[in-house]
């Protein structure tokens, strides 16, 4: 049985905007190009860009649900962010940090550590995993969670990289330790993705409106999607096939 890639997503600034792409070229041992290139360290963080650090060091959707409604567009030398409650912002994340901090401040809860600076991940995307990972997500699993909640659940709640359809729900959770080929790329699937409160926020409004974690618990876990490592590089495009090796 094979699946098919339905969409590809990158998130240029960790937790601050999503961007769909039609194709991507993967490199062994690397994150998805353009994904989590930057991250926003808060005022209590010790992150300095010299090494990978856990997500607790960064402003993120679990603590600030309004961030979930940001969309991103990558330009040649800049990034454009949009949000339903903010004017559009085009800026250079490496050199125009204050413009971004001013823009994002109204979206941050007053009782949380304020966003303080933008850092670049050192030679990799600042994914939540301590290894450079790509997240693989199953449309059937998303539909099943939506049915539990009696709603048409947006896939953008999960902030996945590669979405596929045509395989049974939760099949991806049985891939741990296996190799899967998507397009020309071969992945080693390494671990499940345990989910947090970020997924309870509506990606269109930034408001918490769905008990996604409670729905997952009805299956006896809080996992959605898997983290995989690229072991053979190449191109992936929307419409490519997905199958276990």
Domains of the chain: 3-11+22-32+129-244 (2.40.33.20), 38-120 (no CATH)
Percent of the chain surpassing pLDDT 70:
100
Of 32, 50, 31, nearest in space to 41 by CA: 50
More confident call, 156 vs 46? 156
pLDDT band at 210; cut points 50, 70, 90: very high
pLDDT score for 74:
96
pLDDT score for 190:
98
pLDDT band at 111; cut points 50, 70, 90: confident
Strands 162-165 and 134-138: parallel
């Amino acid at each position: 049985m094979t699946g098919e890639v339905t969409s590809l997503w990158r998130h240029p600034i960790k937790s601050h905007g999503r961007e769909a792409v039609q194709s991507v070229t993967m490199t062994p041992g690397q994150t998805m190009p353009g994904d989590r290139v930057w991250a926003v360290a808060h005022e209590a963080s010790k992150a300095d860009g010299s090494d990978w650090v856990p997500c607790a060091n960064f402003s993120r959707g679990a603590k600030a649900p309004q961030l979930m409604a940001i969309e991103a567009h990558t330009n040649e030398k800049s990034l454009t962010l949009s949000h339903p409650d903010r004017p559009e912002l085009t800026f250079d994340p490496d050199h125009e940090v204050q413009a971004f901090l001013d823009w994002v401040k109204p979206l941050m809860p007053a009782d949380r550590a304020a966003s303080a600076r933008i850092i670049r991940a050192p030679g990799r995307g600042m994914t939540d995993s301590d290894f450079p990972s790509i997240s693989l997500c199953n449309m059937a699993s998303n539909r099943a969670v939506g049915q539990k909640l009696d709603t048409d659940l947006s896939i953008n709640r999960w902030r996945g990289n590669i979405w596929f359809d045509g395989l049974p729900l939760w099949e991806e959770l049985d891939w741990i330790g296996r190799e899967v080929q998507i397009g020309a790329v071969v992945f080693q699937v390494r671990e499940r993705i345990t989910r947090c409160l970020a997924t309870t926020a509506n990606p269109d409004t930034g408001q918490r409106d769905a008990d996604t974690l409670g729905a997952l618990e009805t299956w006896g876990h809080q996992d959605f999607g898997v983290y995989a490592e690229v072991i053979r590089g190449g191109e992936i495009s929307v419409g490519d096939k997905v199958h276990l090796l």
